């Protein structure tokens, strides 16, 4: 499965088996390429995240939240620089806001975004983006 969401008392954990396009790649191409990539992450992966969270019993969160994210790799191939997957994170959060699980992604609510160093995990079949959305302060 490409997307796996888990629900905990104050945490939504999301794993997506895909390597996002880096910010460098996004900026090097035209807006139509960026648009297609954003739609993939927001409308395909993001919709699946929302569906899984709702199936698990998630309810809308109307308070502050923060995000931790990292990339795990299955090989020693080229790894993204820290933070270079920001576009994918933004697209997922946008879907959560659009579907009403988060109230907004302005600084009044989203107070921190962390880009953490992932690891090498040979058991993976492809790169994996990990995202934790911590609900509350």
pLDDT tens for residues 45-84?
999 999 999 999 999 999 999 999 999 988 877 777 888 8
- Fold for 3-135, please state it: 60s Ribosomal Protein L30; Chain: A; (3.30.1330)
* Cβ-contact 108, 63 below 8 angstroms: no
What are the strands, taking DSSP E only, across the chain?
3-8, 11-16, 65-72, 110-116, 128-135
Helices 46-55 & 86-98, crossing angle to 10 degrees? 50
The two tokens of residue 30 are: 């035209």
Question: pTM, whole model, 2 decimals?
Answer: 0.88
Instruction: Give the mean pLDDT of the chain.
Output: 89
* Domain boundaries along the sequence of the chain: 3-135
Q: Euclidean distance between the first and final Cα of the chain, in Å?
A: 31
């Amino acid at each position: 499965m490409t997307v796996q969401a888990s629900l905990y008392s104050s945490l939504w954990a999301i794993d997506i088996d895909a390597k996002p396009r880096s910010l460098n790649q996004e900026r090097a191409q035209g807006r139509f390429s960026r648009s297609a990539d954003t739609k993939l992450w927001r409308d395909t992966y993001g919709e699946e995240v929302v569906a899984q969270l709702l199936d698990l019993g998630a309810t809308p969160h109307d308070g502050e939240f923060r995000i931790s994210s990292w990339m795990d790799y299955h090989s020693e191939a080229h790894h993204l620089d820290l933070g270079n997957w920001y576009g994918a994170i933004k697209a997922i959060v946008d879907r959560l806001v659009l579907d009403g699980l988060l109230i907004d992604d302005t600084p009044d609510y989203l107070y921190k975004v962390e880009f953490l160093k992932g690891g090498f995990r040979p058991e993976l079949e492809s790169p994996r983006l990990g995202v934790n959305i911590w609900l509350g302060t």
